[in-house]
Each structure stands twice: as C-alpha cells, then as structure tokens.
Chain A
Amino acid sequence: MIAFRAILAKDLRVELRTLQSLPAMALFAVTTFVIFRFGLDRTSLEGSLAAGVLLVTVLFAALLAINRLFVAERDEGGFDAMRLAPIDLSALFAAKVVALFVYLLVLEAVALPVFAAFFLDSGAGLPPLAAVLALVNVGLAATGAVVSTVGAHSRARDLLTPLVLLPLLVPLMIAAGAAAEPLLAAGGPEYDEVWKWIGTLALYDLTFLLVGYAVYDFLLED
C-alpha cells in the first residue's frame, strides 16, 4: 500500500512538473474533433455517429499517454529501482493503472465540454456519458498498463504497443459505443439497454484488471 501510494505520487508529481502527456492529449483531442467536422462534413452529431467520434478520439488520445507510461522507468533504470525494493510489484501495476485513469479523467474533463460545444445540440446526455467514460477509462488503463509494460521491454516500442493494444480494446469499444449511442440520441438520452452494456464494460474492466494483476510479476522478471 505504501509502495502503491509512493509510486502513484511520484508519477503524478512528475507529470505535473513536466506536463509531457496531458497537454498533448487535450490538444490532440480538440484537433481531431475539428478534423472529424470536416472529414464527415457535419456540424452536429447524434446517436451512434456522435458516440463513435468521441470514443475513437478518446482512444487515440489515450494511446499517447499509454506509450509514455513507462518512459521514466525505461530510461532511468526505474524498473531496477522497483525490483530492488522489498515491494510487491503489483503495486507498480496498480499505481500505473490509477495514474492512467487520472490522466484520462483530466483529458475527458477538457474533451467532453469541447465536444458538446462543437457537435451536440443539448448537454442532457453528458452526465450519464461521463459515467460510461469512467468505466471505459478503467478498461483502457488496465489493458494499457499491461501492454505498455510489454512494449517498454521491446524494440520499436511505439509501434508494438498500439499494435497489440488495439485488437484487445475492440470489445471495450463495442460496449462503450453501444452504451453511449442511446445517451447521445437526438431527442435526449434513452436508458433502455444501457445497463446491459454497462455490465459488459464492467466485465471487461474486471477481466483485464485481474489478468494484469496476475501476469504482472512475470512481465518484470529477468
């Protein structure tokens, strides 16, 4: 527990000080929205189209953070630091998952209002949408932390991480899109099917949190 808090605090402190991920993610998201506006030739979005644009943008912004998640550990022999200490290495996994979750929350705090301003006619669907995004963040964070660790030990890590990560995220995106679509419907949010999809999201999150926790020690052995 102490190790988890120490590592999380270190990561957040470094990010606040260097701002290497967060501004890039926010800027990327807003620019992508602009590109979508012109690529789709639409100024207003609803339903599945709105959900798709939002989720794809969040996904690729998340990739920026995921690629950089272990940069300090890799460059400064930081994995050594963790492995020398008498700590449970799952604390490292947990800390990175929470850090990534926080970065995604901050990203969405910027991206959601901008998205609403650009494309939505009413903001009624935003609060439930934020809840859905919170579940998506957990899935992105758990899977991203595991794959990023694998990528940190390989060549061409910036290529390998997205390559392996994207297929793994498809079920998450399917469930997220299906949950978000009725929330962004033209006539206001509808809630009929949403619990089924929230259940699927939760199942995905749980699966990858457990898998990540179980395999993490093997990833850091030498």
Chain B
Amino acid sequence: MPATAVQRAAGEDPATGPAGAPGAAVEARELRREFGQEWVLRDVSFVLEAGHTLVVLGPNGAGKSTLLRMLATLLRPSAGELRVLGAELPRHAWQARGRIGYLGHDALLYRDLTLAESLAFHARLHGVEGAAARIGELLDAVGLTRRRDQLVRTLSAGQLQRAAVCRCVLHHPALLLLDEPGSHLDPAALETVEPLIGRRPGVTRVIVTHDFEGGLAGADRALALRAEGSVAYEGPAGGLAPGDARSIYAGRSGR
C-alpha cells in the first residue's frame, strides 16, 4: 500500500475490527488531497462523534465534495490520517464499506434498468436481506412506488434524486454522506426524504450543502472550508452565525 506522510499521534490505536473504535465515527487529522499539481484540501482536521451530524460549508470548488468522497473511501488522502467507523483509510477501507451510505452528484442508478431492478442490484451488492420488502418500503416512503417498473432513464431530476436517496439508505448504513441532498427536490419531496436521511439515533451524518442556515440548524458540528481548501472554521454548529456566511463565501475567487 502506498506510503503517505502519516503522522501517528501518541497512543493511537491500530485499526480495530468492525466493532469500531469507541466514540468517534469519523476522525480526520490534517487531511490533504492533491489534484494535478494543486492542493484541493489543506490540513482538514475534525472529529465527529457517533450519532452526530456535521455540516460542511464553503464556496464552490472548496473541496467539499472531495472531502466527502474521501470519507466514502472513494478517494485516498494524499497526506494526513483518516479513520472512518473505526477503520483506518485507505488500508482498511474494506472494513468500513457496506456501512457507509453515499449520496453524491451521480445517482449511481443504471439508466437502462428499471428503478426496481437498479435498487435490487445495489441490494445484492450490499448483501441486503429481505431486499424486495426493503425496496418496496423505501419506494413507498418517497412516493415512487408507481414508477418502480419505469426505466431510470425516464425519471425526472427530482424523481432521480429521491431514488438515489433510497439507494443510499438501502443497506441501513451507520454513516450517511450526503452531497447536497436537497438538490432538485421541492418542499414536498424534501419532506418525503427527511425520515430517510434526517437525524436519527445511531446514524452519523456528514452533509455538504449551500443552505447555510438550514444546514447549521440541523447539525451538531460545522466545518467551513475556504476556496483554496483550508479550514475557515471547525467547531460546534452554534458557533457560526449567519453573518459569517459572507466571509466564508468571499475570499479568493477561483484558483
């Protein structure tokens, strides 16, 4: 496995098994990520306790989606340490997979399969038991039951987003990683997905959003990134006032 500039804190545990390290669901220490010749994330550090919600804010291009993909084990850190659900990334990523639900910019549903077939495929990959019932229950919750035999290609953006939410929570993940979950969703649709990806006991969430106030209201902790990928604020969600929005979203335009 690649050698990264890993700095071990004194008394750091080696990766534990699926039972997970006590307390923290996500631990990030001085995460950095390169793309091409540029640093996209610089020294991002935070700790997220199990069952809590972290909101990630920042202007476009700040590296929020990159950070989320790293938490999802899809990208490996260029430097720094990352531990998700007790598993040290990237070496032990396989321990955390299957307990993570990721909702990114792609729905990850196959356009030429029906909605039901696509969800069933994901259920099989994740080894979900009672898949048929679970799929039916989720489609019901978001109001897509009558479209279950429609090809994914024919769904509207809002329907696709709701379907992606179903895919994301299909396997009862312990950690939800949501990249702008409300995109393409009108208020009625938002209400239908809220019980699936909203606050729930035992589920840790990391949400990337441009909705400054709504995001902070629903979160325990906040992480604000600057345009160049460094941390502007990391702490309790209550510590950021609406007036800070301009400071975060201003600063350097573009890279």
Interface status of A27 (Cβ within 8 A of chain B):
no
A17 to B125, CA, bound (A): 21
The count of residues in chain B whose C-beta lies closer than 8 Å to any C-beta of chain A is 27
**Least CB separation from A91: chain B residue:** B125
> Which of A7, A13, A84 gathers most chain B CB within 10 Å?
A84
Q: Are B125 and A72 in contact (CB under 8 A)?
A: no
B95-131, CB < 8 A from A: 97-98, 100, 102, 104-113, 117, 121-122, 124-127
**Least CB separation from B95: chain A residue:** A86
Interface status of A153 (Cβ within 8 A of chain B):
no
Q: Are A85 and B112 in contact (CB under 8 A)?
A: no
Q: Are B127 and A76 in contact (CB under 8 A)?
A: no
Q: Are A85 and B117 in contact (CB under 8 A)?
A: no
CB distance from A20 to the nearest CB of B (A): 9
A203 to B104, CA, bound (A): 43
Q: Are B108 and A85 in contact (CB under 8 A)?
A: no
A75 to B109, CA, bound (A): 10
Main secondary structure of the interface of B (DSSP, over half): loop
CB distance from B127 to the nearest CB of A (A): 7
In the complex, chain B residues whose CB is within 8 Å of the CB of A13: 113, 117
A6 to B125, CA, bound (A): 7
Interface status of B39 (Cβ within 8 A of chain A):
no
A2 to B98, CA, bound (A): 15
Q: Are B121 and A80 in contact (CB under 8 A)?
A: no
**Least CB separation from A79: chain B residue:** B74
A221 to B124, CA, bound (A): 22
Interface residues of B, Cβ cutoff 8 Å to A = 72-76, 94, 97-98, 100, 102, 104-113, 117, 121-122, 124-127
Some 20 contacts from A to B, beta carbons below 8 A apart, are A3-B124, A3-B125, A6-B124, A6-B125, A14-B113, A17-B112, A72-B112, A76-B106, A76-B107, A76-B111, A78-B110, A80-B104, A81-B108, A83-B73, A84-B97, A85-B98, A86-B98, A86-B127, A221-B76, A222-B75
